[in-house]
Amino acid sequence: MQLSSGPWDGGLACRPQPVLVAHPIWQGVPRLSLTRITDRLMFVLLWTSAVLVAVVIAAIILFVGKEGVTTFRTASLASVLLSPRWAPPQSFGILIFFLGSLAVTVLAMVIAVPVGLAGSIFLAKLAPEWMRVLMRPAINLFVGIPSVVYGYVGMTVLVPLARQVSGSVGFGLGVAGIILAVMVLPTITTVSEDAIRSVPTALVEGSLALGATRWETISRVILPAARPGILASIILAFARAFGETTAVQMVVGNAPIFPRNLFEPTSTLTSEIIQEMGQTAPGTTWYFSLFLMAFGLLLTSLVAILVVRYVARRGVAA
């Protein structure tokens, strides 16, 4: 079997392909030497690790999907996906949770994207170096805060505030959106900042040389050029916010209704799963419908990631 490419044929190695016996890289090395065995062994080990990761993730997706689809044995497809009534064990309409997740996430994006983008522009283009050196790690620190801390702060500080402002119970869409916005802000800021910094200086300097002001350069040259990266950051933030569980469950009120205003409680896919999972009898339609919700979450995240890969690939093509 004669391969034209060498050992570094990047991507072709779908099967463990030890380097050919007669390949020039082995010139002078005896057949059964430790060098060759090590080479082969390491290749197999690395290949196995990668395949293991892929297999585990595929197994999770398949398991959740299989359990979720079992819902349709007892409940009809239309009633589960389209009915606005969640009242187990009679009605299993999960549309409410999907819309709840969407509402909370969209609200979070509406708050976080302008703020995050503005922050990233400032950090990348306008801030002095000392400020950038200080702020960048500080922003990254936020990502490390456990979500239960955000939820707790939201529950003890924001919910009473919302109660005072609106006269409602306080738990609801608004508080959840604010908390999520704070959580995804670092993602948007750091990834967008990287995108903005990677715009070629030739473009920036050319724009400035043509007499554009700093804001004109930013708004008409840099941002359009960095658009794929910025879009990627937004979609990543969307996926993170959509899948956020603990913080949302503590402040959103968990009422399976669609909220009519910002201060009414609602429920999301994630909060419903975590509330009911431990108390649902295994083997019942209720139990499987929770898996279906989890599967919906998985699918949404997968779609988001695929969109990110597509969007980010369209580099700095002018």
Partner 1 sequence: MNSLKSRIIAGAALTLALTVALTGCSGTKQQDQPSQPSQPAQKETITAVGSTALLPLVQAAKEEFEKNNANVTINVSGGGSFTGLTQVANGAAQIGNSDVDVTPELKDKGLVDHKVAVAPFVIIVNPSVTVESLTQDQLIGIFTGKIKDWKEVSGKAEKITIIHRPASSGSRATIKAIVLKGQEFDPSAVTQDSTGKVFDGIKSTPGSIGYIDAAYLKDGVKAVAYNGVKYSAEAVTSGKYPVYAYEHMFTKGEATGATKAFIDYILSAGFQNSYVEAKGFVPVSKMSK
Contacts with partner 1 by CB under 8 A lie at 34-35, 37-38, 41-42, 45, 86-88, 160, 163, 167-171, 249, 253-257, 264-265, 274-276, 278-284, 286
Amino acid type, 217: T
Identify the CA nearest to 108 among candidates 269, 261, 254, 238. Answer: 238
CB under 8 Å to 197, separation ≥6 — which residues? 124
Q: How far is CA 287 from the centre of its chain?
A: 26
122 or 258: CB nearest partner 1: 258
- Our CB check for partner 1 shows the closer of 274 and 311 to be 274
In angstroms, the Cα distances linking 176 to 54, 101, 147, 205, 262 are: 33, 10, 12, 42, 10
- At 317 the three-state DSSP class reads coil
Q: Which is nearer to partner 1, 236 or 273 (CB)?
A: 273
Report helix, strand or coil for 198. coil
Contact 251, 158 (CB under 8 A): yes
Tokens of 161: 């505030």
DSSP 50: H
Least Å distance between CB 97 and partner 1?
13
Q: Which residue number, 96 or 237, has a Cβ lying nearer to partner 1?
A: 96
Whether the Cβ atoms of residue 245 and residue 270 lie closer than 8 Å to each other: yes
> Residue 18 gets which letter from DSSP?
P
Nearer to partner 1, 114 or 160 (CB): 160
What is the closest distance, in whole angstroms, from the C-beta atom of residue 267 to partner 1 in the complex?
A: 8
Nearer to partner 1, 47 or 142 (CB): 47
The residue ranges of DSSP E strands in the chain, in sequence order, are 86-87, 91-92
